Amino acid sequence: MNNILHIICGLTTAGLFCGIGWLVLAPDSTKIRRGPAIEAVQLAGFVEAGVEETERFGMTGEELSRFEDRWRNAPREIVALALQIARGRIPEANALHEIGRDGLSRGYPAPRLDFTVNDRPVVFMTTLLQEAVLAYNFEAAQALLAAGADPDENHGEALFLAVTQKTRGAPPFMMFPDFDAMLPFLRACLKAGANPNVQRYGFLPRTPFGEARLENNLGAMLILLQSGADPWKQYPGPSGRLRDSALESLAFSAGSNASAEILFRLAHSGYMPRGTQQQQDRVFALLSAAAEKFASSNDAKSRHTAWRLDQVSQALGDALSRESHADALRANLVEFNYEKDGGWYLAADEVHSRYDAPISAPATGTQIWEP
C-alpha cells in the first residue's frame, strides 16, 4: 500500500513540474502562428460578445463575422497579422519587416465573396491594407504603408474603400455625407504613390473620383483632384460606348442642389484639369440645358437655380479659361437677386453637411462666397 502511495505522489510531483515547465518554456501565445480556422474560433468570442465589446477592437460583430471569409486562404502569419489589424491594434515594425513588402502587399482570394459583373466572374481578393481601412485602423494603415505595402495592389481597392466608407455614427441621410474618418486613409494612400486614376476592381468603369462623385463625397473629390485625379476620364460601358466622365455627369445634373455645389467647389479648388475642348464644350452645353429646364421661370426655385448656375459657370469659366462661354450662359439666366436668391449649403471650409441640418434641405443655403 505504501509503495502505491509513493508512486501516486511521484506521478503528481512530476506532473506539477511538467506543468510549471510548460508555463515557463511555452512561447508567448501572441506569437504563435495560428491557422485561419483556429483564429476563427478565437474570433467567435468577440462576435458573441456583441457590438459594444468588439467596437474597441476596431470592428463591429457583423464585420468580425466576415473576417474568416476574407482570410481563409491566407498563410497563418498573414491571418494573425490581419486579426491584429481588425482588432484595432498596431502591428510591430519588426514583424512587418520580417514579412516583407511583397507579403504585406499581396492579395489573397476569398471564394465565398466572389461576384459577377455583366456576367463576368470576379475573384474577390483581400489585402492587409484593405483590412486596415475596413477596421478604421489608421495607425495600422500607416505602419503597413511605411513598411512598403503597395496601395495599388488589387486594383487600388483600399483607395476605393477609403472613398466609399462613411464615418461611424454619422447620420444615414445627408445631402453631403460625412466621410471625414476616411480622408486620412485616402491622403496616406495617395502620398504612398497610389494611382488616383485606377479603374475599380471587378471591371467596373469607375475611378476613385467617379466613385466619390456617386457618393457625394466632396472631401475625397477635392483630395483626389489635388493629387492628380482626372475628372474627365472616361471608360466604356457594357456596349463599348464611352460613358460620360464624372465632370460631365455633374454638369448633366447641375439642376440639382448637390451637383451644382460640388461642381462649384471643384472648379473653385484651383486644381481643375482642363480636359479636351470637346469635353469642355459638352459641359457648357449641359449647363445651358440645365438653365433652360430649371431656371427659365420667375419663381423662387428657378431664381435660386439661376444663382447656382451663375456661380458655377463663373468658376468653370475661370478654371478652364472659357470666360466667354460662361458669360454667354449667364446672359441667358432668369434675373435673380444675388443676396436674396442665393446661398450654398456648405461653408468654404466644410465638406459634409452639418449633423443638425434637416433631412429635407431648405430651398437655399446660407453660405454666399465669391466664385
Domain assignment present for residue 65? The answer is no
Q: Which amino acid is it at 103?
A: G
Helices (H), 26-90: 36-49, 51-54, 61-65, 67-71, 76-86
Domain assignment present for residue 3? The answer is no
When divided into structural domains, the chain yields a total of: 1
Domain assignment present for residue 285? The answer is yes
**Each residue of 268-297: pLDDT tens digit?**
999 999 999 999 999 999 999 999 999 888
Domain assignment present for residue 344? The answer is yes
Q: Which stretches of the chain drop beneath a pLDDT of 70?
A: 1-61, 63-64, 202-204, 358-365, 368-371
State the Cα–Cα distance between residues 159 and 187, nearest whole angstrom: 9
Domain assignment present for residue 342? The answer is yes
What is the model's pLDDT at position 19?
Answer: 41
What is the model's pLDDT at position 221?
Answer: 99
What is the model's pLDDT at position 35?
Answer: 39
Domain assignment present for residue 336? The answer is yes
Domain assignment present for residue 153? The answer is no
Domain assignment present for residue 313? The answer is yes
- State the residue range of the domain holding 256: 245-370
State the Cα–Cα distance between residues 364 and 78, nearest whole angstrom: 52
What Å distances lie between residue 157 and 160, 200, 212, CA to CA? 5, 7, 13
What is the model's pLDDT at position 148?
Answer: 97
Q: State the burial class of residue 47 (Cβ atoms within 10 Å of its Cβ: 0-12, 13-18, 19+).
A: buried
